[in-house]
Amino acid sequence: MSALRTDELHRAFLRPLESVVRWHSALSGKPLCVDLALPLPPRLRIYMYSLIGGVGTVRPNEYKASLRLPGQPVGRYDSFDHSDDRFALVVAYRPDLDVFVLWDASLHPRFTNGTNIQVRDTTVHTAAALGWAEQVRLLPSKSPEMVIACQSSNLKKAIDERVAWTGSVREGVNGNSL
């Protein structure tokens, strides 16, 4: 599967939220800023990527997104923008499975152009089959990260859960570490 264009990714993200979107920035620009109706988080900044990998790749047991920011030179460090009371979301989408994956942007404060973030293939496939899956993965810093995967019908819930999980993993949760 080839990577989707920015506007295609943004349309895919907005489509299941259509009834609660109050405003959004240009679909061709990165990141996408979105204002939502309450009770969802009212101001989001979406860093959207294609979910790539799986069968036939070097690491067939995972999918990934390659982090890049507009104007970020190769090899240079940068970070997600959390300003202006906008909640930063890192999201990847796989259209053939209709699966969105949401990572914790606060746990990825600095990265180089092309840095990969991963999710297990079983998490993605479970979300494709059942509509929802979660995975706890350990980062190189040894911090746990809750990764949420869902089909478009559950995207509102996933956004709510991503906000609730950001910066921590709830006590008593067990998951598949990557």
Both tokens assigned to 130: 């059942």
CB 8, CB 52: distance < 8 Å: no
Per-residue pLDDT, 142? 83
Q: How many residues does the chain have?
A: 178
Task: Calculate Rg over the CA atoms of the chain.
Answer: 15
Please spell the DSSP secondary structure of 34-93, one letter per residue: EEE-TTS-SEEEEEEEE-EESTTSSSTTEEEEEE--TT--BT-EE-----TTPEEEEEEE
Per-residue pLDDT, 139? 85
Per-residue pLDDT of 99-128, as tens digits, reads: 999 999 999 989 999 899 999 999 999 999
Per-residue pLDDT, 178? 42
- 141 Cβ contact list (under 8 Å, min separation 6): none
CB 92, CB 50: distance < 8 Å: yes
Per-residue pLDDT, 177? 41
Per-residue pLDDT, 133? 98
Beta strand 21-24 pairing with 32-36:
antiparallel
Q: H or E stretch including 126?
A: helix 121-130
Per-residue pLDDT, 153? 97
Per-residue pLDDT, 54? 61
Could you say which residues of the chain have pLDDT below 70?
1, 54-58, 167-178
CB 66, CB 33: distance < 8 Å: no
pTM higher than 0.85, yes or no? yes
